Amino acid sequence: MAGKAQITSVEALENFRAQLIVFLSQARPVLEEVGNEMSRTRLWLQHDQKLAWEQELRRRERRLEEAKQELFNATISSIPTGTSAILQMAVQRTQRAVQAAESKLKLLKRWDNELDNRAAPLMKQIEQLHGFLASDMAGAVAYLDQALKALDAYRSVGAPTVAKTSTAEPATEEAK
């Protein structure tokens, strides 16, 4: 037997351990960014877009009231019917704009519900993966550390030496 144990794949384990650590250091921030992006999207839908379209709806409703008031004033006064028709078209146009803003708000509400319904299972899986990477894979790295230490210790131990005995038999007195 040789003087040392013949271990050839320790370098492969060390390389695997190093690559696992790099993977973990890159995967965790990516998963956190996915969660952050989901939160930003939810806030954008629930707050920013909802607030913007509610303000737009109020603005369009004010315009509609103004257009209706102008039409009412025109019908009461003795303004020619051509102006009245133009004012009626303006009222209809502003009514369509109000309806469009209302439909946008309904659409935002639907998107918000769909986002929660579709994203919740995926976010749960991402959280589970994040937990797996944080606990189980960290344990795997620790296990690889212990295994590498054990293999290193084994490699440094020399092979047991066997006492050499001569194959020739001692001469006996009868042979003399």
From first to last of its 176 residues, the chain has per-residue pLDDT tens of 455 555 667 888 888 899 999 999 999 999 999 999 999 999 998 899 999 999 999 999 999 999 999 888 888 887 666 778 888 899 999 999 999 999 999 999 999 999 989 999 999 999 999 999 988 998 999 999 998 888 888 877 765 555 555 555 555 555 44
Which pLDDT belongs to residue 176?
Answer: 45
Which pLDDT belongs to residue 6?
Answer: 57
- Exposed e or buried b per residue across 130-156, where buried means at least 16 C-beta atoms within 10 angstroms of its C-beta: beebeeebeeeeeebeeeeeebeeeee
- For the structural domain made of 10-153, what CATH number should be given? 1.10.287
115 Cβ contact list (under 8 Å, min separation 6): 41, 42, 45
Which pLDDT belongs to residue 1?
Answer: 44
Which pLDDT belongs to residue 155?
Answer: 75
Instruction: Using DSSP, state whether 66 is helix, strand or coil.
Output: helix
Which pLDDT belongs to residue 105?
Answer: 94
152 vs 9: CA distance, rounded Å: 11
168 vs 138: CA distance, rounded Å: 59
Domain locations in the chain? 10-153
Which pLDDT belongs to residue 160?
Answer: 55
